Amino acid sequence: MYIFKDLGEIEYKRAWEYQEECFNEIIKAKLYNRENENDKKEVTNRLLFCEHPHVYTLGKSGTQNNLLINDDFLKKINATYFKTNRGGDITYHGPGQIVGYPILDLEELGLSVKEYILKLEEVIIRLLKDYNLESSLLDGATGVWLDVNSSGQTRKICAIGVKASRYVTMHGFAFNVNTDLTYFNHINPCGFVDKGVTSMEKELGEKQDLEKIKKQLLNHFESVFNVSFK
C-alpha cells in the first residue's frame, strides 16, 4: 500500500517524530512477515510533503563548523537547529521549500539505496524540465544542480539526505521553490564553500504555485518509482 499525505507547515521535530512512527511501523511489519509466512501484514509505504519553519539540520557526516552563526543569531532570525540521523551535511529548511519524506520499503520496490537516491534526483530533474529548467547531477555530490559544467556558476536547487535501515527509508529531499535564499548565507550548504544555491523563483523570475508543483512532483514520483499513491 502506498499513501501520500501533505502535512502542510509543521515543526521539524514533529515531522521527524511522525517519520519515525511510520518508519518503525514498516520495520515491525517486515520483521513480523519474516516469522509468519502464512499470515503476512500489509506494509504501508508513505510519501510525506511538508514545509518547515526556518530550521538548520546537520546530518551524520556533517560538521557543526558549517553552521556559521551562534545561538543568539539563530534566535534573531527566528530559526532553530537540529542534529539528525540522516546522511549528508548541513542544510536549511524553510517556508516556500517543498520537503519530501518518502518512507518506503526498498526491498518491495527492488531497489538498492543508491538506485533509490538516483530515482529521487530523477523526480526533481523531470519536474524542472516541465519549466524548461535544465538540471543534472554533480559528480561526488547528491542532490540536483544547475550549470554543473560552468565554473563558478554551479548551484544547487534540491538537497537530498536519507537514512535507510533494513532497506526502509526516511528523510528525503528539500526542493527550493519560493525559498528565502538569504538563510543559506549562514551555512556552508551541504558542506560546500564554492557552490551556490538557487530556487525556482530565482531562476524563473517570479513566485511559483506551490500547490501546483506539489501535484506535479507527486505525479513524477509515481511515474519514476512505478507506484500509485492513495
Beta bridge partners of residue 141, listed in sequence order: 138
Residues with active-site annotation = 190
Radius of gyration in angstroms for the set of CA atoms belonging to the chain, rounded to a whole number? 18
Residue with the bigger pLDDT between 70 and 108: it is: 108
Place of cell 517519520: 19
Q: How many domains does the chain have?
A: 1
Lowest mean pLDDT among 73-77, 86-90, 183-187, 206-210: 86-90
Q: What CATH number should be reported for the domain holding residue 131?
A: 3.30.930.10
d(CA 106, CA 88): 20
Q: Let me know if residue 185 belongs to a domain.
A: yes
pLDDT at 199 over 70: yes
Question: What number is the average pLDDT over the span 139-156?
Answer: 91
User: Does 49 fall in a domain?
Assistant: yes
pLDDT at 134 over 60: yes
Domain-located, residue 230:
no
Q: Is residue 160 part of a domain?
A: yes
Q: Is residue 67 part of a domain?
A: yes
CA distances from 85 to 8, 61, 161, 164, 197 (A): 23, 9, 10, 10, 23
Does any domain span residue 124?
yes
The whole-chain average pLDDT of the chain stands at 93
Model pLDDT for residues 116-130, shown as the tens digit of each residue: 999 999 999 999 999
Parent domain of 188: 2-225
Residue 162 lies in a domain: yes
Q: What is the pLDDT of residue 191?
A: 56
User: How many C-beta neighbours within 10 Å does residue 93 have?
Assistant: 23
Residue 120 forms part of a structural domain: yes
Amino acid symbol at 152: G
Question: What was the pLDDT predicted at 194?
Answer: 63
Q: What is the pLDDT of residue 189?
A: 62
Flag whether the pTM goes above 0.85.
yes
